[in-house]
């Protein structure tokens, strides 16, 4: 079960909220520009949407829609959210030349028809490389709809959204940390942009699978992608961890507005 906390901080009445146990990690947001009523509505929306998406996409929850679909031995009809995720994953699969594969090398064997009937063909789906980006992308749209101009969201340290600017600056500055030794690899500035970092760490190594070889990527490398869309950023950072140099250039060119940084750590 997710746990939430919220507070207004300091004389500036900056809003801080956090959601624990969400997609296996923690989401924190800081809002420094927006009418209190609008910020309150945005926070309530985020809490509801977070719980809803987790109930649909959490493969570790045996009662989630995704878990039930993964156990199905016959084609099953998916909800609007899950069918959108499957179709979007298929689109990313094509854009990345098959490198982004939520079925670990078997997405070509998954089908979905016009009535949202899904046939997994005995395969298992995992949206761990999309879910955080999806929620941050929707958060950005919801903030714009509420007129919330400046917001910073940190989703597990790997997915970041920076709207507007810091209360005492003209942007949000994020340090890309070296996971193997103390220090910052680079400071990146965000203004109405998202950022995603993928890579191996001492505590979380070998978790990205090359769908063509079935082997884990073990290189001590990190990839950080900055984009206007948080979902694009998350998908591309994962993909570029797998791609070779020439393929990375081809794939990245299909994501307009995205920029990638590569770090050997």
What pLDDT is recorded for position 259?
Answer: 97
Cα 131 → chain centroid: 5
CB 235 within 8 A of CB 130: yes
Q: Percentage of the chain surpassing pLDDT 90?
A: 88
Partners of 153 in the β-ladder: 29, 161
pLDDT at res. 262: 95
Q: Which of the residues in the chain have pLDDT under 70?
A: 10-12, 205
The whole-angstrom separation of Cα 120 and Cα 194 is 32
Domain layout of the chain by residue ranges? 3-54+129-264, 61-119
The residues pairing with 30 across neighbouring beta strands, listed in sequence order, are 16, 152
Q: Residue 205 has what pLDDT?
A: 67
Fold annotation for 3-54+129-264: T-fold (3.10.520)
pLDDT digits (tens, 9 = 90+) for 208-251: 999 999 999 988 889 999 999 999 999 999 999 999 999 999 99
pLDDT recorded at residue 12? 67
What's the sign of the alpha-carbon dihedral 170, 15, 52, 145?
negative
Q: Give exposure, 191-207, as e/b (b: 16+ Cβ within 10 Å).
A: ebbbbbbbbbbeeeeee
pLDDT for the residue numbered 59: 92
What DSSP line would sit under 177-219, residue for residue?
E-SSSSSEEEEEEESSEEEEEEE--SSS-S--B-TTT-PBP--
């Amino acid at each position: 079960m997710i746990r939430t906390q919220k507070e207004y901080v300091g004389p500036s009445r900056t809003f801080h909220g956090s959601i624990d146990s969400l997609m296996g990690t923690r989401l924190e947001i800081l809002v420094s520009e927006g009418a209190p009523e609008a910020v309150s509505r945005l926070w309530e929306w985020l809490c509801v949407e977070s719980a809803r998406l987790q109930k649909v996409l959490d493969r570790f929850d045996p009662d989630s829609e995704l878990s039930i679909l993964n156990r199905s031995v016959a084609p099953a009809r998916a909800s609007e959210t899950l069918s959108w995720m499957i179709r979007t994953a298929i689109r990313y699969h094509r854009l990345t030349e098959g490198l982004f594969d939520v079925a670990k090398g078997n997405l070509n064997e998954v089908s979905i028809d016009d009535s949202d009937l899904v046939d997994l063909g005995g395969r298992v789906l995992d949206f761990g490389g999309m879910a955080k980006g999806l929620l941050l992308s929707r958060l950005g749209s919801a903030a714009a709809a509420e007129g919330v101009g400046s917001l910073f969201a940190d989703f597990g340290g790997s997915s970041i959204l920076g709207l507007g600017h810091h209360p005492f600056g003209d942007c949000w500055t994020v340090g890309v940390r070296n996971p193997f030794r103390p220090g910052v690899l680079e400071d990146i500035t965000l203004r109405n942009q998202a950022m995603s970092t993928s890579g191996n760490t001492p505590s979380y190594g070998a978790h990205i699978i090359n769908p063509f070889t079935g082997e884990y990527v073990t290189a001590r490398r990190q990839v950080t992608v900055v984009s206007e869309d948080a979902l694009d950023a998350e998908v591309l950072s994962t993909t570029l961890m797998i791609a070779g140099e020439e393929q990375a250039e081809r794939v990245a060119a299909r994501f307009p507005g995205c920029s990638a940084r590569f770090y050997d750590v």
